[in-house]
Structures are given as C-alpha cells and as structure tokens.
Chains A and B, each alone.
Chain A
Amino acid sequence: MKKLISWLDDRTGMNGLLHEVLFERIPGGARWRYVWGSTLSFCFVVQILTGLVLWMAYSPSSATAWESVYYIQNEMTGGWLLRGLHHYTAQAMHVLLVLHLLQVVVDGAYKAPREVNYWFGLVLLFLTLGLGLTGYLLPWDQKGYGATKVATSLAGIVPVVGPSIQKLIVGGSDYGHHTLTRFFALHAGVLPGLMIAAIVAHVALFRKHGITAKQPYRKPDANFWPDQVLMDGVACLAVTGAVLYFTVKHHGAELYAPADATQPFNAARPEWYFLFLFEFLKLHVLTDLFGHHGEFVGAILVPGVVCGVLAVMPFLAKWRLGHRFNLGFLAVLLVSATLLTVRSIRSDADNPGFQAAMAQAQAQSERIGALIRANGGIPPGGAGTLLRDDPATAGPRLFAQHCAGCHRYDGHDGLGMVSKDLPSAPDLKGFGSREWLAGFLEAGQITNHAYYGGTRFREGKMVKYVTTKLPKLHAGKPSALEAMVAAVSAEAGLPGQREKEAKDGAWIEQGRTHVRETFACTDCHAFRKPDEEASAPELTGWGSREWILAITTDPGHARFYGKRNDRMPAFGKEGRLTPKESGLITDWIRGDVAPDRVAASVK
C-alpha cells in the first residue's frame, strides 16, 4: 500500500496537495464561527448528488415535467426523500448564505486584500438565488408556474431591452416546452457550472489570503485537520438533521396541481426566501412616491442599489467609519427583510381568502392524485387531460359557461360567482335527491326562485297541484309523502343515496304505490311503465344520468316538456354541448365523481 501511494505521489504530487488542504493553519485554533463556508460547500455537494439523480428521472416539457415529478414524488422508491432533500437543502443554503455573509462582514474578512474573494462570495449568493428561481419552475405546477410568470414579467419591465430579455428567458412569446428546457438548462447546467468555477476561485483565494482569524485568540494555533474539520462535520450533520426533519415532516416537497393558465391560483406566493421582496412590492409607499414607476423602483432600482452597496462595501470600509456603516447597512437590510417576511406571513395567516385558496390548492392536488391512481397512471397527453375529463373539475366550469345563465348551483354559477339576477330556472344543487324533491313538493317552496319561481311553470299545473291538492292528500300521512319522495328520488340512482336506498328497499317499493295511488302522480307523469298520454316529464329514471342527458339534448321532446318547454335550449340537438361535455356536467351535478368511476368512463 505504502509503495502504491508513494508511486502515485511521485507522479501526481498528491501528498503535498492533500497536506496543503488539510494542514492549513488556523491562528487561535478552530472555532464554530468558521463553519459556514464548509456547510455551504457541503450543501452544494448534496445538491449536485440529489440533483443528478433527480435529473435521471425528470423530463422537461409541458406535457411531462409535472408528470415526471409526480412520479418521482409518489411512485419511485425513495423518490420523495430525494426530492425533499433537494428542496430543503436549497432552502438551508439561503439561510447559511446569510449567516456566512454576516460572519464575513462582522469579522472584517471582506476588507482589503480580500475584496475579490468577497465579490466571488456575492456572485455565489446570486447564483444560489438564481438556482432557487429556476428550480422553482421545473415541477410545472400551479405554484411554480405562477411565481415564474411574475418573475419573468418583472424582467419585461426593464426599459427598452426588457421584452426581448423576457422572450429569451421564456423561450418564446408564451410559456411552454421551451420555458422548461431553458430553465432546466440554466438550473442543471449553466448555473451549477458557473457555481463550480466561482467556488474554486473563492476557496483558492481564501487559501491564498488565509483565514481572517477573530481576535483575541483564545487557544493556541491549530491545523484545519482535525479540529476544524470535526466542527465543520458537526455543523453539516446539524444541517442534514434539519433538512431531514422538514423532508420527513412534509413527506418530500409540495407538488400542487399541474400548471393551468385557465384557472385562478389564489395561493400564488414566491418561495419564502423571496417573500421579503414580494411584500416590498406590495408596500403602498412605492406607488405613493413613484406612481406607476413604483414597480420599476421596487423590483429593479432598489434591489440594484442594495446590490451595488454590497459590492462596494470593501471600499467603503476604508473610511474611518466605513466598517460601522457596512455593519449598520447589513443590519438594516436583514431587519427589514425579516420584518417584511414576517409581515407577509402574518397577513396571509389573517387572510381567510388566502387560507381558503391554500385549502383549495391542496384539494386540487389530492384530486389529481386520486385520478391518477384510479387511472393506473397518467395519459400521454399529460395530467391536465385527466382534469379536463374530470366531472368534479370540468363540470362546474362547463356549468358556469353554459347553464348558469338560467340555473344556479347552490345559489352561485358553479364557480362561486353570484349574479344579482334572479335565476329563471331551478337550482340544480342536489337535483334528484330526496332533499331537492321534498323542497320542490313543499307548497311554500316550489314558487321560490330555487325551483319554479323564475319559470313559466310558476303558473302551471304542477304548482297548482303542490299548493292546493298535495297538502290535502298527505294531511295526516306525512310518511306516505316521504315514501313517495324516496321512490321518485330512487329513480335517479344517485351515488350519494345508494347506501340509504339499499336499506330502504321495501319502503321505496311502498312509495312506488303511493306515486300511482295516493298522490296520483301518474295522472300526468309516466312512471316505470310507458304512458302514451303522459303530459308532463317522465318520472321513470327521473334525475338519472340517462334522463338528464336526454333532457339536455332536447327538453322539447314529448318525453319531457313537449311543446310547453320554457326557454331551455336543446343543448345536444343544437350542438351547443358535445355529449362528453353534457356528461361531465351531469356527473358533477349527480355527485358521480368517484375517481375510479371517472377513470373507467374515460377509458
């Protein structure tokens, strides 16, 4: 062994190199305050290792980016751990960078002759921020997509060249494949490459000038190995512990629903280490002082000046009070950034709208996960196609667009918007259910706008029947009415009532008799057998998927309202809705949105 080592050393000089690396002299001995640089190098190595393996599983295109990250997070063995380590180590780096910068400035290690090394440190700081910014987009989820749109928009406001810069960053006029390929090349190639070069220069210069030892020395001089290495190791272990804690706590890193330019994402926030800048841009003082230039001042001018001051700090230090100014400047900067961050977090915590948006974002990401599991994987068109074929997601959107002009869903248009107009057709929340029908058959309710209030049928036979005849028929026999309601509602076969109906079989059978006899519904409606003379909509299969699809195809069909149809358009017959679209709305209204059923119907 010894011979081999000496043979190698003769040809490489590695012993001398190793000696130089390990036996750097530290005046005053090893100290905890010197560990920051080493922890940062350690983090960088962690990022390279985890990043390379993530790279082996990641696919940058708008149809595969989210999908491959989903696969890493949920399907690959240990994928969540790998992703979590990469995600939280990135965050740790930002904290450690600030601590390192603080230590360097407090100890005066930025002053002559170490200016150039200090600048390399600043370059590394910005490269790290750049890696955070570019890494954020890669999962192509709603959060990363929104944050990237904002960040690239900010580039666009730079005078003259802004739009071209933005186009080059985005890879075109719109966000898509080339946004991802460009960001990925930056994140995994350009920025780490620059970073390696800068780290090499940073460490080489550090060795050239030696450590800026903190006076007074408390202990005799020591070598880097093993005293300082041990301390550095313990610090790196602490960083690893913290990163593992967050990784396990959150089971990897968050992944929101796939990017979708057609959906609001009210939980849009930058990563926490950019929150201070985000909050700064929201300060009214910017618009008050600079009007429409506030954006430029806040996003570009002020950060630019701050970076400028940081860069010239070694020169400022030459003045008598320069070092104190630098310390004060850094203190003000850190305190402001902390206050802004706290302000941002607290205002979100106090904002019910934001909390609701976060909950909705969470629900969306769980929904897509359930759909993928039920489908047994993601279709080639990407996860977005699953959501587009999902009644729970697409149903309310189509309802708002096509139905909410007349109908409502729980008082709103399906997406939560409430018009001041009174609806001219029934509210379809719970259509087909016992509750819906019981309300419809109540004398005091049928003429409400949630039922027939806005329709021509307000003056029709059904309303007359419900308000005058029905109360007499069921006086003293409330159970008969309940059974009749259950029997008609059972026609819908709603998934939400399936259990109840399985138990109530005999009672529902009684109810069917009440439909024909006690309440004489069959005088006008057909019920469970063909009736040529029926003059009102068929109750056979009332509220079932087939029934709703048929009435939306043609409400003027003899089976439904015939010539007495009010204003309901023949959506299917006129081609306003495709059968698939009608199906999505129908399934959503019927609450038929179980992921495995959705997956089966897509197939």
Chain B
Amino acid sequence: MSGPDEKPAVGRRGFIKEAAAGVVGGCCLLVPAAAGLVAWLDPLSRSAGGGAMVKVGRLDGLPADGTPQRVSVVMGRQDAWTREGAVPVGAIYLRRTGDRVVQALHSVCPHAGCFVDYQTARGQFFCPCHDSSFAVDGSINDPHSPSPRGMDTLEVELRGDEVWVRFQNFRTGIEGKVPVA
C-alpha cells in the first residue's frame, strides 16, 4: 500500500482517469466562463449607427462674419436600458461661411477627446487638455499641435432657413477621420 505522499504509479487506466478529471473539471468551468465572455463582449456587437440628421439652429441666428457659435445637439439617445427623449448629447460649433453656407465642427478634440473651447480673444479653437490649437475653420494652426488632424467637420444640410447636421462621433488619436463604430 502506498502512503498518502507517495504518487501511485500511473497505469493506462490511471492516465485515462487523470485526463477525464481534467476534461470534466474544465467543462464545468467552461460553461460560466463562456457565458461570461459572450455577455462581456456584447458591446462589440453593437454599433453607433451612421449618425442621424438633427436640427441645430437657424441660418439667421448665426453671425455673418463666420464667428463660431456653440450649439448643444439635442436628440433622442439610447443609453443601454434607458431610452431618452430629447436630451443634449454633444456640442458642435456652427460657422456661417457664406450666404447659404454653414460649416459644422465637432467640439470633441480629435487628439484625445477633450472639449475644444473657442478663444474669442485669439480667434482660435483651443483644447485645454494638451494645448492643441486650431484655426477658426478647424484646421491645425500650430506646428507643435499634438493633434493628428484638424477638428472634425460634420455634414450640414440647409432645409429652408433651418440648419441640420449629421451628428456622429469620430475616433480620436488617429490621422484619418473615422466614425466611431
């Protein structure tokens, strides 16, 4: 008889037992692990959609000299289990650049996602986080800017005197302007 500390010799049957114990034990753990993993990966199966057109203002409310106006974008939003009616979901800058031409710039810094503010005194956009600065049209105007691209423009549509934009977020920190999926 072998003592408790002595490893019994592993025969063929012994090996099958060991392998079976491993497989059975593994299977037991596999069920909760797989269920957890699938649920945890749920965000990957959801997409942001391509952005919806939303009314953000009127042509005659915009300064004719092209000074940007900060506008909250108010629209419906799904936040996990909550369906929100009309809530502020983000902010954009609107600029009137021609008689019937409007430029819309996203307020999110393309560098790291902070809120880009407009500095009236200097007539430029400035991100307080890492000092990215942008010209009034959203282009990079500082050779040291950490931002990989200028501010993101949004698609604008004029419906009569109403200004509509396609509101969507873009990935930050990369050179290309790629919508958040």
Mark A residues whose CB is within 8 Å of B. 62-63, 146, 149-150, 152-154, 156-157, 163-164, 167-168, 170-174, 176-178, 260-268, 278, 281-282, 284, 286-288, 292, 294-295, 353-354, 357, 388, 397, 400-402, 404-405, 412-413, 415-421, 569, 576
Contacts and interface: CB of A to CB of B under 8 A. Distances in A.
Interface in B114-138: 114-118, 120, 128-131
Contact of A419 (B63, B116, B143): B63
B72 A417 contact: no
Contact of B88 (A262, A416, A576): A262
Contacts of A176: 79-80, 82
Contacts of A402: 61
Given A156-B173, A286-B146, A401-B61, A167 B91 contact: no
B173 to A, nearest CB: 4
A576 B111 CA distance: 36
Contact of B112 (A154, A287, A401): A154
Contact of A417 (B70, B130, B144): B70
Contact of B146 (A63, A281, A357, A404): A281
Nearest to B92: A262
A149 B80 contact: no
Interface in B137-164: 143-146, 148
Contacts of A295: 111-112, 146, 148, 173
A167 B58 CA distance: 35
Contacts of A261: 88-91, 115
B80 A397 contact: no
Contact of B57 (A156, A163, A401, A415): A401
Contact of A292 (B117, B130, B148): B148
Contacts of A288: 144
Nearest to B148: A292
Question: Nearest 7 CB-CB pairs, A to B?
Answer: A173-B48, A176-B79, A157-B173, A419-B67, A177-B80, A419-B63, A266-B128
A362 B169 CA distance: 29
B65 interface: yes
A421 B181 CA distance: 40
Nearest to B115: A264
A168 B64 CA distance: 44
B69 A173 contact: no
B130 A421 contact: no
The residue among A157, A172, A281, A353 with the most chain B CB atoms within 10 A of its own CB is A172
A401 B113 CA distance: 24
B54 interface: no
Nearest to A150: B112
B53 interface: no
B169 A174 contact: yes
A170 B43 contact: yes
B106 to A, nearest CB: 11
B99 interface: no
A262 B89 contact: yes
A154 B129 CA distance: 13
Contacts of B65: 419-421
B18 interface: no
A421 B95 CA distance: 13
B31 interface: no
A417 B173 contact: no
B35 interface: no
Contacts of A401: 57, 61, 69, 71-72
A86 B117 CA distance: 33
Contacts of A281: 130, 146
A356 B68 CA distance: 21
A157 B60 contact: no
Nearest to B131: A282
A485 B111 CA distance: 54
Contacts of B148: 292, 295
Contacts of B175: 292
A501 to B, nearest CB: 35
Contacts of A260: 88
A424 B129 CA distance: 36
The residue among B65, B107, B148 with the most chain A CB atoms within 10 A of its own CB is B148
A287 B129 contact: no
16 contacts: A62-B79, A153-B112, A163-B180, A168-B43, A172-B46, A173-B43, A173-B48, A174-B180, A177-B81, A268-B114, A282-B146, A295-B173, A397-B72, A401-B57, A416-B120, A419-B63
A254 to B, nearest CB: 18
A354 to B, nearest CB: 7
B171 interface: yes
Contacts of B89: 261-262
A405 B63 contact: yes
Contact of B171 (A156, A265, A353): A156
A171 B79 CA distance: 10
A245 B98 CA distance: 59
Contacts of B60: 405, 569
A261 B167 CA distance: 13
A574 to B, nearest CB: 10
A405 B82 CA distance: 36
Contact of A164 (B44, B81, B114, B115): B44
The residue among A168, A292, A402 with the most chain B CB atoms within 10 A of its own CB is A292
Contacts of A421: 63-65, 67
The residue among B60, B79, B118 with the most chain A CB atoms within 10 A of its own CB is B79
Contacts of B130: 278, 281-282
Contacts of B73: 262
B118 A354 contact: no
B65 to A, nearest CB: 5
Contacts of B70: 397, 400, 415, 417
Contacts of B111: 295
Contacts of B80: 171-172, 176-178
A292 B117 CA distance: 22
Given A292-B175, A400-B69, A405-B63, A168 B40 contact: yes
A63 B82 contact: yes
Interface string B25-58: 0000000000000001101101110000000011
Contacts of B16: none
A168 B44 contact: yes
Given A178-B80, A400-B69, A264 B117 contact: yes
A265 B115 contact: yes
Contacts of A388: 88
Contacts of A405: 60-63
Given A153-B112, A281-B146, A405-B62, A262 B90 contact: yes
Nearest to A169: B43
Contacts of B20: none
Contacts of A157: 172-174
Contacts of A419: 63, 65, 67
A417 B68 contact: yes
A171 B128 contact: no
Nearest to B174: A157
A163 B181 contact: yes
